[in-house]
């Protein structure tokens, strides 16, 4: 199990990130070039197969075991009227996931993903970040380690998702602290708030940035002062997956925002990541550009919960099936160009 003993230990992990297996990647490229098709004719499907080969360390990568995790947490900033729903809905949705009734459940089943739900202290929301740090050092470190511990061994791909009423406001704050820009550049409708709700979200982000200005000096401090337990857990899971060489499929704006504080000082942190989709939440396109990620899908989705990532996993399955199952020119007796 990957564990981070202290905030400095977590930051040190970012300086020792493993890289993909170049031999496997080169072999996958050679296989793509030998298959019965013009080179490059399967577009992104070829790129996906080569990406997966590098991170799995096999020229013919597979998706025999895919794990999806939804981390859930509650947020004190909800008291500022930033969501169309009350904080009680987080626990209600967790119960729905546990009964198998969520969109994420259905989409993960369709994609062949084993889904786990990890609620983190739902009865103990983080502090309102406009008044105090969202978490203590101990709470943030615990959330990072919960995320790291949740990553199963021996998986071929990790799907990350979240649930937490108010966390689109938290996501906007993390992005603004990590990549600058005004609050208005990052806030959006989230759960469906109107223009006045979006304004309240912007005011909360501005207040949080003003309160913590001068203290947002490391990824850990950004996460603990402005983040949430479920987002810190996503960050911990993502780093743990990288240390094990496991590729990761990210979901939408909120999931990607958990990576923002890390990527601001270590852009390579997303080298093992695919962006599942482009959310309609306005800040997501800006965030994807900052992370240097080109999403696989753009379907007008904005649900979260790992739903976009689960849907994109079906595309990965298609890519790997073509990569593994097609005949080569030599096998098919077809003349190469």
Per DSSP, what are the bridge partners of residue 126? 75
> Which three-class secondary structure state does DSSP give residue 32?
helix
The catalytically annotated residue of 98, 305, 331, 336 is 305
Q: Give the Cα separation of 253 and 153 in Å (integer).
A: 27
Continuous segment of H or E residues that includes residue 158: strand 157-163
Q: Give the Cα separation of 209 and 190 in Å (integer).
A: 20
Q: Kindly report the CA angle at 281 between 268 and 320, in degrees rounded to 5?
A: 50
Query: Which DSSP symbol is given to 126?
Result: B
305 has catalytic annotation: yes
316-328 burial string, b = 16+ CB within 10 Å, else e? Answer: bbebbebbeebee
**Residues 6+ positions from 120 with CB-CB distance below 8 Å:** 71, 72, 73, 143, 146, 229, 230, 233
Edge-to-edge, what's the strand order for the sheet holding 157-163?
113-119, 66-72, 157-163, 248-250, 273-275
Q: Kindly report the CA angle at 278 between 274 and 282, in degrees rounded to 5?
A: 135
Instruction: Supply the residues annotated as catalytic.
Output: 305
């Amino acid at each position: 199990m990957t564990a981070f003993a202290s905030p400095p230990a977590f930051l040190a992990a970012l300086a020792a990130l493993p890289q993909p297996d170049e031999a496997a990647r080169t072999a996958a490229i050679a296989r793509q070039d030998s298959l019965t098709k013009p080179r490059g004719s399967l577009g992104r499907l070829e790129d996906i197969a080569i990406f997966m080969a590098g991170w799995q360390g096999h020229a013919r990568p597979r998706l025999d075991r895919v794990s999806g995790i939804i981390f859930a947490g509650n947020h004190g900033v909800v008291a500022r009227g930033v969501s169309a729903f009350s904080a009680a809905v987080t626990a209600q949705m967790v119960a729905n996931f546990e009964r198998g009734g969520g969109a994420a459940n259905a989409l993960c089943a369709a994609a062949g993903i084993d889904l786990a739900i990890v609620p983190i202290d739902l009865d103990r929301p983080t502090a309102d970040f406009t008044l105090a740090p969202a978490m203590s050092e101990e709470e943030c470190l615990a959330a990072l380690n919960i995320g790291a511990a949740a990553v199963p061994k021996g998986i071929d791909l990790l799907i990350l998702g979240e649930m937490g009423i108010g966390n689109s406001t938290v996501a906007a704050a993390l992005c603004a602290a990590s990549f600058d820009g005004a609050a208005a550049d990052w806030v959006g409708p989230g759960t469906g708030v109107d223009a006045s709700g979006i304004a309240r979200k912007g005011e909360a982000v501005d207040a949080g940035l003003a309160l913590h200005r001068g203290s947002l000096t490391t990824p850990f401090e950004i996460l603990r002062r402005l983040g949430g337990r479920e987002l810190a857990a996503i960050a911990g899971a993502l780093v743990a997956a990288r240390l094990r060489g496991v590729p990761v499929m990210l979901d939408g704006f909120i999931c990607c925002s958990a990576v923002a504080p890390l990527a601001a000082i270590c852009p390579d942190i997303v080298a093992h990541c695919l962006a599942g989709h482009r959310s309609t939440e306005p800040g997501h396109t800006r965030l994807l550009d900052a992370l240097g990620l080109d999403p696989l899908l753009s379907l007008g989705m904005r649900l979260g919960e790992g739903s976009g990532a689960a849907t994109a996993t079906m595309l990965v399955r298609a890519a790997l099936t073509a990569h593994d199952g097609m005949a080569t020119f030599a096998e098919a007796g077809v003349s190469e160009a």
